[in-house]
A and B are shown apart, each in its own frame.
Chain A
């Protein structure tokens, strides 16, 4: 299992790689996780760090052959192996859909433009040589098709293992996210501000927390917005078990584990039309509500769930039926098959 590592940062991709390694072992395979540090700036650093993966010889170790490598996130899939599978978490998005946006990396200089194109060529080679190219969501599969012309099979990763259960449908909406701007927690706070009785619980921590707490104060939410911070697995399972529904609407998310976790707790999900990955499973009026990314629409959606417990129950149960079909057995079978 190949996964890059950004020192001192840990997110969904790292958890996913560790989890798959564990599941491969549980399915009777000898599997190990290989990581290398990744730094993508300045200039051509993104290419030299990709080259590190190319130079890693994973065909054998200590005289024993390695039968298969699985690459995940850029640039780990640049690794060379006669039997390479890629389960694509994401490409280097700064070279594609984020180019020219605030989240982009490459400027207008000739060298920057050419570096971006070199990433494109490298991707076409590295992804093109994979025996199986899987993607963790339809959104990621669509992107790789658009970016490289390659077809990827959608292989959805199951959620983490928590003590998923449904205890009640209390009158609060839950948000579970790392707190950064792309997750759009401010939209939830603005929605709560426009509805005088709506309560929200925000689990997670991150660089945007201070700004969000100031915003909650400024909007006079007076305890209706609770910042729970980083919570334990047991606390998280408990929040899922008690909430009325879950808000999850990052911008163009690769995948998004939260909707699956919400569904495993039989809770509906409110998301937005531009959220990307969550749209694979959140269906408007079936497993949750899909809205435009506006505070007034979000307030209306949350109000609907708070006033219609029967629908919240029904959509949550429908979501659970979907989430239960996403299993590690299936993932392992597709990647190794």
Chain B
């Protein structure tokens, strides 16, 4: 089987480019893959489109999807930023309004007009989760690959009736790096851009509380602070000078080294756009215990790998409690071993590639198989006088459904 593969690829810098760089070689061991160059077409029996929320990385992929429907890998459920970037940013106000109306009816169109006229702030910044704008992509998709039950549910809620395959994010093999350790014990690390959704204030408040009983604890923050996030002010406010180390952008190798040097990886998020976290996947590859927000994909991590805290009014207390639990080296060892096991099994690259191959082979030929089976069964039924709408035909249909034929 030949696969037309649409995705950002290195040297483009994006999480999905990294994802495809990891996946494609394993996929090529199973199917013939033609990777489309940016803006160009690829050829295959079935096409696979990686769609994320970044218009620069994925705008051309959605255009290709419009030309030839195929299987969509929905890396983010919320695509508001993508749609805004491929409509409003290209002076296509009508396109944006159409997407808003598709999502939320007339009220959506009116809100869109408000955004265009500058009467209300951009919705992709303030309320993207309320208007995911994934309708067009789902309409064009012949099947959807998701990474979580959370996104699968959202997709089904929107009335998508075609095939959905839940395929875990593949784990990167942990590179042979020398761990780079910050002095202190225990050391907690948070990795990735420090923007409003990463719950930095709550993390710092909880860490300050935790540090009262663990004065040697250190918090390592790796990633650029987004505009509007006053990191140094926050650190000073919490009395955490000397207890928090901040590294701005680091290259991939150093990221692994720094992550390998921490005792716990913290990955907080709210709201969620239905995304997975490359940081979390790297962390389990390294066998690190996790502290995460109890939202979306993160909620589906096994309880013996990740402690989960809901982003509610008691978040800070519970984060501090979780840090307390993770201060026990025995607890960290058990959770870390389970994390490494999870990376090698459920998130194992070959396992994930096999799931992709199964999904794509079904997408390419499944309809023909279903027709062949139905032709034979219905011909036999008709020969002995069963009407299509009869009870007997219903029995046949249910039996086919039960065994997923």
B366: nearest chain-A partner, CB-CB: A114
The answer to the question of A283 belonging to the interface, with a C-beta cut-off of 8 Å to chain B, is no
Q: Shortest Cβ distance from B70 into chain A, in angstroms?
A: 13
B373→A48 contact, CB < 8 A: yes
Q: Shortest Cβ distance from B186 into chain A, in angstroms?
A: 35
B365→A55 contact, CB < 8 A: no
18 residue pairs of the A-B complex, CB under 8 angstroms, read A44-B369, A44-B372, A47-B369, A50-B403, A51-B405, A54-B402, A80-B402, A108-B1, A110-B46, A110-B364, A112-B365, A113-B361, A114-B361, A116-B361, A118-B362, A118-B404, A121-B405, A122-B403
Report chain B residues within 8 Å CB of A78: 403
Q: In A260-288, which residues have CB < 8 Å from any B CB?
A: none
**CA A114 – CA B362 in complex, angstroms?**
5
**CA A303 – CA B106 in complex, angstroms?**
89
Q: Shortest Cβ distance from A200 into chain B, in angstroms?
A: 42
Q: Shortest Cβ distance from B383 into chain A, in angstroms?
A: 14
What is the 8 Å Cβ interface bit string for chain A, positions 42-56, against chain B (1 contact, 0 not)?
011101101100110
The answer to the question of A228 belonging to the interface, with a C-beta cut-off of 8 Å to chain B, is no
A contacts with B, residue count (CB < 8 A): 27
**CA A118 – CA B404 in complex, angstroms?**
7
Q: Shortest Cβ distance from B165 into chain A, in angstroms?
A: 11
The answer to the question of B176 belonging to the interface, with a C-beta cut-off of 8 Å to chain A, is no
Report chain A residues within 8 Å CB of B365: 109-115
For chains A and B in complex, what number of residue pairs have CB atoms within 8 angstroms? 78
Q: In B368-398, which residues have CB < 8 Å from any A CB?
A: 368-369, 372-373, 376-377, 395-396
**CA A120 – CA B358 in complex, angstroms?**
9
By a beta-carbon cutoff of 8 Å, the part of chain A in contact with chain B is: 43-45, 47-48, 50-51, 54-55, 78, 80, 108-118, 120-122, 125-126
Q: Interface majority SS on A: helix, strand, loop or mixed? A: helix
Report chain B residues within 8 Å CB of A112: 365
Q: Assign chain B's interface to a size class.
A: 20 to 34
The answer to the question of B400 belonging to the interface, with a C-beta cut-off of 8 Å to chain A, is yes
**CA A108 – CA B357 in complex, angstroms?**
13
B399→A55 contact, CB < 8 A: yes
Q: In B109-144, which residues have CB < 8 Å from any A CB?
A: none
**CA A43 – CA B371 in complex, angstroms?**
11
**CA A120 – CA B404 in complex, angstroms?**
10
Q: Shortest Cβ distance from B216 into chain A, in angstroms?
A: 43
Report chain B residues within 8 Å CB of A121: 403-405
B399: nearest chain-A partner, CB-CB: A54
B404→A125 contact, CB < 8 A: yes
Report chain A residues within 8 Å CB of B1: 108, 110, 113
**CA A108 – CA B376 in complex, angstroms?**
22
A51→B369 contact, CB < 8 A: no
B368→A125 contact, CB < 8 A: no
**CA A172 – CA B84 in complex, angstroms?**
83
Excluding A44-B372, A47-B373, A121-B403, 6 further A-B contacts by CB distance (< 8 Å) are A48-B377, A55-B399, A110-B1, A113-B364, A118-B405, A121-B404
The answer to the question of B45 belonging to the interface, with a C-beta cut-off of 8 Å to chain A, is yes
Report chain B residues within 8 Å CB of A115: 365, 369
